[in-house]
Amino acid sequence: MLSIFRLILFSFIFVIGINANSITLEKNQTILKQGNFINGIKLIDTPGFARSLSVDDNYLFVADRESGLIVMDITDPSNPVIINSINTSGEARDIAIANNFAYIANGKTGLCIVDITNPKDLSIAGFVNFPGLAMGVEVVGDYAFVAAGRSGVQIIDITDASRPTLKAQIKTLGISYDVLINKNYLYVADGQAGVSIVDISNPLKPIIKRSFDLPSLTYGLDIHNNTLYVASNNAGLQIIDITDPSKAFVKTVIKIKSEVWGVAVEGDYAYVASRSLGLAIVDLKKKRVKKYISTSDLANQVVIKNEFAYVANSKSGVAIINLPKRQF
């Protein structure tokens, strides 16, 4: 009788152990428990809500909402180490790295600039406030372009990082979530208004050249080879030809099984932050999703460095996914 009891108890513990670490949802999709490194995936907790991230050299910078800026050393991606953090006195929602500074879209408190010359010794360099909710940021030359929600795009002179100054504004038709610059054009993920394309040859006199609707909200952007890739919430991955930005048009749509918030393109693949389904790996030649990799939380944004994808993974911090030889 005792032996039967032990057998039942062991079986129960074994099943619980498997379910806690790996739950198969559908073909090629797995949920992982926080902290494990299974099937090439590792979850790294952060104190806040990982909304966005950026890679610079061997460091990963995480916009961790109320917890500010988090810095990880990813010299060894299989053993990342949080080495520092700093309170940005707002909600860190996006990051752009340039000239030893991290420019942070900081929610209601505008743009926060952090000196990252020594990532182990961070300091606030400057702040600038403006109308709207700072949600996305891109830096080129002496200017930071900030997606400010209902207040469009704010253009900030960052010549002196300690005294950033609002210089111009772009009124868009929707809610600006993200911005991306390619050559002399600014691309705006404009929420319900689709995409706006702005000539910024003169940053102080921006001119909207093209605006067009998409079937759903637009949240994230990437550009590769004269093609704009748009994370379009419930409308999947919208692929737009921008050979002539003033005549941009949608040439392909790839369906994703979940909401889409972020995208990064590398070679023949698009890596899509697909919220509840984690990371969607899209074969751009075959124009279809090859695989979904669950991150056990809501995937917001993704960046690629070498053979690894780094996913801003909401309350679960950062998911690091090994992508050996890009073979799936």
Q: What is the pLDDT of residues 164-197, one digit of tens each?
A: 999 999 999 999 999 999 999 999 999 999 999 9
Backbone angles phi, psi at 16, to 5 degrees: -60, -40
Tell me the CA end-to-end span of the chain in Å, nearest whole number.
49
Distance CA 262, CA 284 (A): 16
**Six-digit token string for 195:** 């995409």
Instruction: Report the 3 state secondary structure along 275-315.
Output: ECCCEEEEECCCCEEEEEECCCCCECEEEEECCEEEEECEC
**Domain range summary for the chain, segments of one domain joined by +:** 23-326
pLDDT score for 326: 56
pTM of the shown model = 0.88
Distance CA 311, CA 303 (A): 7
**Six-digit token string for 15:** 């099943």
pLDDT score for 327: 52
- Beta strand extents in 78-132 (DSSP E only): 81-86, 94-98, 101-105, 111-115, 123-128
Q: Please, what is the average pLDDT of the chain?
A: 89
What SS3 state is found at 25?
strand
Distance CA 107, CA 319 (A): 23
- The third-level CATH classification (topology) of the domain covering 23-326 is Methylamine Dehydrogenase; Chain H (2.130.10)
125 in Cβ contact with 115 (< 8 Å) = yes
pLDDT score for 40: 77
pLDDT score for 5: 38
Cα Rg of the chain, angstroms:
21
With a cut of 70, list the residues of the chain below it in pLDDT. 1-39, 324-328
Residue 111: beta bridge partners? 105, 128
Q: What is the pLDDT of residues 134-158, one digit of tens each?
A: 999 999 999 999 999 999 999 999 9
- What DSSP string runs through 216-251? S-B-EEEEETTEEEEE-BTT-EEEEE-SSGGG-EEE
- Cα distances (Å, whole numbers) of residue 166 to 127, 138, 152, 156, 158: 11, 15, 13, 4, 9
Sign of the C-alpha dihedral computed for residues 155, 64, 80 and 328 taken in this order:
negative
